[in-house]
Amino acid sequence: MRNILPVLLAGVSLLAGCDSDLDTTATNRPAMTPATSGSAPATDSGSTSHGVSRDVQIPLSSYQPVRLRNVATATGRYAAVVPCPRDTAGEISLQIVLQTQRHTLEALTLLYAGTNATRKLNQLGNGVGYYHPATQRYYFSVAYQTISELPGNRRFSSEPYEINGWISTDTNTAGVLPTRLAR
């Protein structure tokens, strides 16, 4: 399964209109309960942007505005928790750590506070993203699947879902697209 994840994420990135040579890293950092383990209009301006979209145009009105939580800033660094549309069995959030001087995503960690003890989330890969200089936003995409514990010590793993959104460090605002199946 681990050998398939880079291919899966590269495929999701290509379908989302992003380059496949994305340079992001992530580590699981516990906050709520971390899950176990980019798509927006842009042009390449020559800066250190990653995964620049070339053909896919997503209207900005499609993004649902969300209120950031636990915002922390330091020289050249920015961290925040982005709440995502509520899952039927709990709350999903995304912890984002950015290097604002280099305009890179340092970590994208899925957090899950479930209401059902037999259901967990599994983050697939590290997520992808890039900085878009014209809008001064960081666009990101994270894939995950739900894992349900069934009777008889069996497990059911869902199809992959993806969360796409943006975050602005200048205005402390964010937007998230409705969660959908990754295709």
Give 69-114 pLDDT, tens digit per residue: 999 999 899 999 999 876 666 788 999 999 999 999 999 999 888 7
For residue 170, is pLDDT > 80? yes
How high is the pLDDT of residue 87? 62
How high is the pLDDT of residue 63? 87
**Beta bridge mates, 164:** 141
The H or E element containing residue 140 is strand 137-150
Instruction: Report the sign of the C-alpha dihedral through residues 175, 134, 143, 11, in that order.
Output: positive
**Higher per-residue confidence, 161 vs 49:** 161
pLDDT confidence bin for 9, thresholds 50/70/90:
very low
CA angle 60, 169, 175 (to 5 degrees): 30
How high is the pLDDT of residue 91? 84
**Higher per-residue confidence, 12 vs 103:** 103
How high is the pLDDT of residue 82? 93
| Beta strand 154-157 pairing with 173-176 | unpaired
A 10 A CB-CB count for 95 gives 22
- Does residue 155 contact residue 122 with C-beta atoms inside 8 Å? no
